[in-house]
Amino acid sequence: MVKQVANKNEAEGSSTALEMNVNAIKAVAGAVQGTIGPKGLDTMLVDQFGDVVITNDGLTILNLMEVNHPAAKMLINIAKAQQEEVGDGTTTATIMAGELVNEGLNQVRQGVPVAKVIEGLRKGSKKTLELIKENSRQIQGLNDPVLHKIALVAGREYEDIANLVVEAAQMVGKEKLEEPSFKLADTIKAIEGAENQVFLGVILNRERINKQMPKSFEDNVKILIIDDALEPEEIEDEALATEAGFNKYLQIREEFKNNIFKIIDLGVNVVLVDRGVDDLAEEILHDAGIMVVSRVAHRELNNAAEHTGAKMIKRTGLKKSLQDIEKNIGFAQKVYEDEKLEHIRILKGKGKPIATIIVSASTKEVVGERERIAKDAASAVQASVRGGYVPGGGSIELALARDMEQLQKDMKGMGAFGVKCVVAALKRPFLQIVANAGFNPLEKLGDVTQAQVEQKINSLAIDCEGGQVTDMLEIGVVDPTLVKMHALKAASEVAEAILRIDTIIRKKETREITETN
């Protein structure tokens, strides 16, 4: 069987394929490395129409940058998985992946078999993950001052955002923060012209379907949530052309009308609908003084149901008895439409506590960036509650790099060269943070390494303000343990995948394959 290769260069062997992939990975890592650390700078992304996005957020840069190389796309997908899992650390994961594959290529060039590099990489990564966990410290309740420091670091030193996030975490409670399906970051909304605010409740980014409907209710507000269209069942046009079909249509409309009156009989104040609302239903509910909100995003419906204690029903659920329908109704202290900000607020529901964070933004240009910063802070806080924290600034990685250097010395065989890749990757975040702060990274690496060894303190790194060796725990530079662990895990996975690629083959076009068959 003959391999079909993309071009002459791709046929020259695995070394060429590896170099091509490593160069692509390094290019992606280079696009975000300047953003890491307290002195990291912004990146401007411009499209063909001149639209501009200015951001310091690694994932946003990766999502918006133009990428064609498959290896680069692999790295971006890993970064997205990192964001989905813990909500932060994508820049660290990307930078570490770049260093892993670069050092892996160096070892291969020196004659180390790829299989041995991967063997050492796996062993070093596994041991490092164990050591990170061993060095982790636990949050002592939601009033622990460390939580604010974590929010401040992840929130790029925005004091107002850190305060909002910690207050929201305290509102929802530890039990809610530890739920796998709950993401504190999803409760954040940056709104132009709004004021910073945290409240117990949810926001629906919709308005009343009719401005003549009541715009607010207070005290034991009854809420019915319909995860469907509030419309009668449809009849095909062919059936309507017959007398029997038309009579069926009239019967369905009458039954639908009776079901709408059930909502009124139950004393419901607010009806939230997933899809559209029939004109007849709108008219009846309007006359009854009921607020109706249609086409609400499904995630927002879920939040409203959870917060109010309501159970979502389909339109067919309205055929049930009043007693059965009543069991699905939720309650809140207040529901009102904010006409200036064009959304509905449901406050202090009787279900599970859900906090909403509104982040102010002076102009529409900064709305997205303010929201991204707040989401990073919220993700970091939640990750710390779930898994603890470690000293930041690259300090813990440098300490663990020394452990990996010792592991490398103790290992027999060529797998030790793979551990060297892990050592290089662990040092990389510190070196980049220091470089971004304007200091000589190699000089500061020597200073910190010496200080950590002499003082036996693994939390020492560089204060990016003055450049002196400082205890990160004392100045409040701390990172979530889970973010560190997932960053290394993600970087290791993509590095191994890249190193294992032996040959690059251009696939046939799908149409060409079909014609051949």
Half-sphere exposure for 110 (CA within 13 Å, toward CB): 12
Q: Does residue 91 have an active-site annotation?
A: yes
> CA 426 to CA 54: how far, in whole Å?
29
One of 57, 88, 447, 479 is an active-site residue; which one? 57
> CA 62 to CA 375: how far, in whole Å?
17
One of 43, 55, 60, 90 is an active-site residue; which one? 90
Q: How many CB atoms lie within 10 A of CB 136?
A: 18
* DSSP classification of residue 39: T
**Dihedral pair phi/psi, residue 456, rounded to 5°:** 55, 45
Residue 126, both tokens? 């596994």
Burial degree of 180 (CB within 10 A; 0-12, 13-18, 19+):
exposed
Q: Does residue 242 have an active-site annotation?
A: no
* DSSP classification of residue 230: B
Residue 458, both tokens? 């693994």
> CA 491 to CA 125: how far, in whole Å?
10
E strand map for 214-367: 216-226, 270-273, 291-293, 330-338, 343-349, 355-361
**What is the SS3 assignment for 55?**
strand
Q: Which residue shows structure tokens 């250097």? A: 405
* DSSP classification of residue 295: S
One of 227, 274, 376, 447 is an active-site residue; which one? 376
One of 35, 91, 187, 470 is an active-site residue; which one? 91
Active site residues: 57, 90-91, 376
